[in-house]
Structure 1
Amino acid sequence: MPSQTATEENSTAGVTPAAPWRIQAVSVLPNHRLALTFRDGLIGVADFSAIGTTANPGIYAPLVDINFFGQVKIELGVLTWPNGADIDPAWLHENLATDKTWSVPF
């Protein structure tokens, strides 16, 4: 699957999320990974591959499908998917600040 890059998309005109932990850009990488760039310049890779082994993924279940996973978008600095699933950007930022690659637990 080719890499895709999304940049900041604001659903509310004139709103610019300025918090340093807001996500500015995302690229889809192989094996359920995302390369992230935050507003403060921090970059890192979030590994979502654990989604395939969790017993109860809940709203995240569709992310197992690599094509669905690749539909990630940025809305007001937050990673979102078409089914309404999202990931807290502050949590991602905190973990990627110490380790440039982080396995997201599910």
Structure 2
Amino acid sequence: MLHVTEAKYIGDYKISVAFNDGCRFIADFEKVVKSDHRAIVQQLADINTFKDFSLQAHTITWSNGVDFAPEFIKSLQKK
């Protein structure tokens, strides 16, 4: 099972993410935040809200309750 093991805010909508499989990269959430029309995700457009996250239940969880599956976060990796 894939888990996020580290997450550090980098700037803008970018978070440096590490996974338990050894993968590490900078995930850019800008397109996710700006294209998802659900109100709870749109709250992340406020950069202060976006920066307010922690690791919970093996993934990144924001203070407003938003989280994304580790597999989805890993899919943001540019090939």
Q: For the superposition of Structure 1 and Structure 2, which TM-score range results when normalised by the shorter chain?
A: 0.7 to 0.9
Pairs within 5 Å for 1:1-106: 19=1, 21-50=2-31, 51-52=33-34, 54=35, 56-96=37-77, 99=79
- List structure 1 runs of 4+ shifted beyond 4 angstroms: none
Distance in 2, matches of 1:39 and 1:78, equals 11
The structure with more helix, counted as a fraction of residues: 2
Once the two structures are TM-superposed, the CA of residue 58 in structure 1 deviates from its matched residue by 2.5
* 1:36-86 deviation line (CA, Å, top 9, x unaligned): 00011100111111223x372421111111111111111021111111110
Distance in 2, matches of 1:26 and 1:41, equals 13
SS where residue 86 of structure 1 aligns?
coil
Classify 1:66/1:95 alpha carbon distance in 2 versus 1 (closer, same or farther; 3 Å).
closer
**% identical equivalent positions:** 23
How many residues are treated as equivalent by the alignment? 78
- TM-score (structure 1 length as normaliser): 0.64
SS where residue 43 of structure 2 aligns?
helix
Distance in 2, matches of 1:81 and 1:65, equals 12
**Which entry has the higher C-alpha Rg, 1 or 2?**
1
Once the two structures are TM-superposed, the CA of residue 93 in structure 1 deviates from its matched residue by 2.5
